[in-house]
Amino acid sequence: MSIVRVISVAVFGAALALGATSAYAQHHHHHNHHRPSYHIDHHDHVVRDSHGHVIGRYHHDVIHQDSNYIVPHTGHHHHGTYYVQSGQYYYRPQTASVSSPHTTNYRPQQVTFGGFLHVDDLASRLETLSNEFCLDLHYNYSHNRGFQETYREAYQVLDVAKYIHAAEHQNDRRAIQEQLGGLDRLFHHIQGDVRGWSRHHHRQVGQLGILSKMDLIESTLHHLMNDVGVRPTPDAGGQQAPPPGGGQEQAPPPVGGATPLGTSPPPPTVP
């Protein structure tokens, strides 16, 4: 059973980076959802997203200019780079970064649809990115109209990432596929809500603005769905304590609690 209600909504794309007071500077034409775009600077070995933020620095040219849905090598916990080129999904392991120029670069590997080879890594990345996204919403966007509903939906994405990360260790492939079914549609709906929001800055979460965070989540989600064999969907309170011994700050659950996995949330209230 998909966790996502059927949504028929058009969302806006964004052209400029997140400002101090607004989540967008101008709208492009209407389309089904925003698709992340990237600029590959092979001279400086830098990858920038469509909002101008640097998301990857490489010692060698490892990504082709016409690539999209880029999920960069981070150099810490998540090694290797994912990207899509000419409709094919690729993973390049052990990608050298500028800070670690001696790391070996391997040839890119084409990722087979439904191969279940990168679930643990991609689910972990999605969990980290979704948690940072929820924290950014919590600290800097709670004044916006419709916040509670959108935050509840964003927290669903985080819950699914956590669930898949755990289910992968149990080798429960069917459960993973069921939870991912329609998740991209839910996230596109979230993107449409957030792109029109203003920002009241209280705390910087991570290194990127909220638009770049959403682009990375969307790219990671597409790679995860491809790896587990799920097709893209046709368009149609309180602070949680960190784990013992420190660790990454966790986004607080939405007011009223998170929607249980496998169930549909109530219809959204359209502002």
Domain boundaries along the sequence of the chain: 1-36+116-271, 38-110
pLDDT score for 222: 95
The predicted pLDDT at position 235 comes to: 66
Buried b (16+ CB within 10 A) or exposed e, 52-62: ebbbbbbbeeb
- Percent of the chain beyond pLDDT 70? 61
Local structure of 39: helix, strand or coil: strand
Structure tokens at 214: 């959403």
pLDDT, one tens digit per residue, over 146-160 is 999 999 999 999 999
Q: What is the mean pLDDT of residues 24-51?
A: 54
Q: Are strands 109-110 and 68-71 parallel, antiparallel or unpaired?
A: unpaired
Greater model confidence, 34 or 116? 116
Query: Positive or negative CA dihedral for 100, 105, 108, 109?
Result: negative
Task: Compare 20 and 217 and report the one with higher pLDDT.
Answer: 217
Q: What is the pLDDT of residues 49-92, one digit of tens each?
A: 666 666 566 666 667 667 777 888 776 677 788 999 999 999 98
177 membership: H or E segment, kind and range: helix 173-180
Per-residue confidence (pLDDT) for residue 31, from 0 to 100: 38
Q: What is the pLDDT of residue 32?
A: 43
Mean pLDDT on 207-214: 89
